[in-house]
Structure 1
Amino acid sequence: MSGARRFSLLVNPVSGGGAAPGAVVPVARLLRDAGAEVEVTYSPGPKAIAKLVATAVARGDVVVSVGGDGMLSSVAGQVSAGGGLLGLIPAGRGNDFARMLGVPDDPEQVARILLEAEPSAVDLIEVTTPSGEKVQVAGSVYVGVDARAAEIVDGARWLPRKLQYPYAAVRALASFRPVQMQVSLDGERRSLGVATVVAANSGFYGSGMKIAPDAVVDDGRLDVVMIAAANKLDLIRSLPKVYEGEHVHLDEVTVLRGQELVLAADRAVAVGGDGEPLGLLSPGDELRIAIRPGALNVLK
């Protein structure tokens, strides 16, 4: 192993139900043992993170996200903006972007990747909210029932981690009302009643659900998965298919690919990205979701 790189490890202390602080210790030790200079900071909040990332990138450090997908997305946009290099220590509940990149959770393997891997350019998703705010997301953005499921997950910490997402999905589907969505992908428009629309860069979301089985993180395209409104019981019964990516063969599922997606809805509907709430899409507003090809350099 080479110790030529410097590292700034940014830790979300609540990721994975508090698992992140424990996950960072062995990796930091291995990096230091290899001769690397390592700085560990526990997340003081989004505004402070932006400043920490900017300082680390300017210093030439590899910025390492220690947490889950939400933490990674909050850091990735800042690293991209500064032209920096991102590393991952998976320590959240889902770790779906790490899963997509093939980054393991074994400390020795993670340390070897951080020390020795060559940078790879991957795409990011840029969301423009109705208010004009731009948000960077690494894995996927979703509008509909899965955004509601993400909210339920946050209140299901009393369950074993493996059960939290399936429980939340069933709860969300049981109570969700379909939404009529106006969908425009690269200018091609359609209208349909949906349970959800997912714009995916990564194939995985929801702790291992293979929502977009053919997605590639460096192809410069969004995989847009639209699940039409259907019988709730049928949707619940089809959930196991999502883990294998077999749901895309159902009649209710349409998969499209493109670079810019614009969504409008007939009623207020929740929007989420990588496990984090992104607000509401209200009637009369538009949500723009675009791919940024090769926007982020990452170690994997």
Structure 2
Amino acid sequence: MRQFTAVVNPTAGGSASAAALLGVARLLREAGAELETEYSRSLEHAKELALDAGGRGRVVLAVGGDGIAGGIGGALSGTGAVLGLVPAGRGNDFARALELPTEPGELAQVLLQGEPRPVDTIEVESAFHDRTVVLGSVYAGVDALANRHANHAKLLRGAASYYAGGLRAVTTWRPAHYRVTVDGKEHPHTGYTVVAANSGYYGSGRLIAPDARVDDGLLDVVMIREAPRRLFFALMNELRTGAHVRRPEVTILRGREIRIEADREVPYGADGEVEAVLPVTVRVLPGALRVLC
């Protein structure tokens, strides 16, 4: 029987993390599994807790949103430890990409009986030579600004906070001049954003890269060019289904190493965490993490 350590982000989705864990925890214990719970004080603390538990051979459960899932998954990347997800945040986009159930009974069965699946992770290297590893995507531009607004929203939750943040970001955005280098080949780009996607989803269920796969050893690079604002709002709506990829303003490349630079200070985000600016280099780490799904 598996032994679990749940690392909980008590701020993700208000009380949603505790509520989500309670339903699953009861079912895990009733099945005979051992479960210990740790509450993180910060993302760095969550990573430390996860590494300690993984080093003891326990399955680490990331309880919260994409920020804690990406932080813990990144910390466990390359260690051989097994990660389980209990989605309880605003977006839950990596869990969505893995098609994880949200109903407690179904999720408990995945955690108890699912086989660990090797998935790719993303190594992120900033201009200051800081290195981190995340799961879903790295995005630089108006979406990162929108994500920052959503993170600071007090009255809205989930998709509503992302949509409101997007409206606020687009109304003030000036197209940036990017230099995007994919596996050594340079691609000039002027527009709204550049996304290096391991998972197809970001921004609370928006299908930014419909053909992205978490286990193919590649990143999908989505670039949205300069366009009238009314067209960009139409593109935002099309992100719900992935229909935006048919627009001539959207270019998609694929590669293993991507460097993103810009002619001015442009924010970038990684799995919901938005506290950095370009330039940034990202690399895919094929099959570096084992996830129950």
TM range (shorter): over 0.9
How much has 1:219 moved relative to structure 2?
0.2
Residue 46 in structure 1 maps to residue 43 in structure 2: yes
Q: 1:231 — aligned with what?
A: 228
Equivalent position SS for 1:31: helix
Q: How does 1:225-264 map to 2 (within 5 A)?
A: 225-264=222-261
| Greater Cα offset, 43-52 or 198-207 | 43-52
Q: 2:214 — aligned with what?
A: 217
- Equivalent in 78, 87, 91 of residue 88 of structure 2: 91
Q: 2:66 — aligned with what?
A: 69
How much has 1:49 moved relative to structure 2?
2.2
Amino acid at match of 2:262: A
How much has 1:278 moved relative to structure 2?
4.1
- Equivalent in 33, 38, 56 of residue 36 of structure 1: 33
Q: 1:203 — aligned with what?
A: 200
Normalising by structure 1, report the TM-score. Answer: 0.95
Q: 2:178 — aligned with what?
A: 181
Q: 1:291 — aligned with what?
A: 284
Amino acid at match of 1:216: R
Segments of 5+ residues of structure 2 without an aligned counterpart are none
Q: How does 1:94-243 map to 2 (within 5 A)?
A: 94-243=91-240
For residues 235-270 of structure 1, the C-alpha deviation after alignment (integer angstroms, 9 at most, x for no partner) is: 012211111000011111000001000111100000
Distance 2:98 2:234 in 1: 29
CA contact (8 A) 2:43 2:68 kept: no
Distance 2:52 2:116 in 1: 20
Normalising by structure 2, report the TM-score. Answer: 0.97
Amino acid at match of 1:42: Y
What percentage of residue pairs aligned between the two structures are identical?
46
- Equivalent in 22, 28, 37 of residue 25 of structure 1: 22
Computed over aligned residues only, the root mean square deviation of the Cα atoms, in angstroms, reads 1.1
Amino acid at match of 1:245: G
Q: How does 1:9-24 map to 2 (within 5 A)?
A: 9-24=6-21
For residues 130-174 of structure 1, the C-alpha deviation after alignment (integer angstroms, 9 at most, x for no partner) is: 111111110010000000000111232312533221121121111
How much has 1:81 moved relative to structure 2?
3.8
Equivalent position SS for 1:114: helix
- Equivalent in 267, 277, 280 of residue 280 of structure 1: 277
Amino acid at match of 1:252: E
CA contact (8 A) 1:96 1:204 kept: yes
CA contact (8 A) 2:261 2:280 kept: yes
Distance 1:254 1:148 in 2: 21
Figure out how many residues of one structure are paired with residues of the other and give that number: 293
Segments of 5+ residues of structure 1 without an aligned counterpart are none
Distance 2:157 2:135 in 1: 26
Distance 1:224 1:130 in 2: 20
CA contact (8 A) 2:46 2:68 kept: no
Distance 2:141 2:29 in 1: 45
Distance 2:14 2:137 in 1: 22
Runs of 4+ in 1 over 3 A off after TM superposition: none
Amino acid at match of 2:65: G
Equivalent position SS for 1:53: helix
Distance 1:44 1:238 in 2: 38
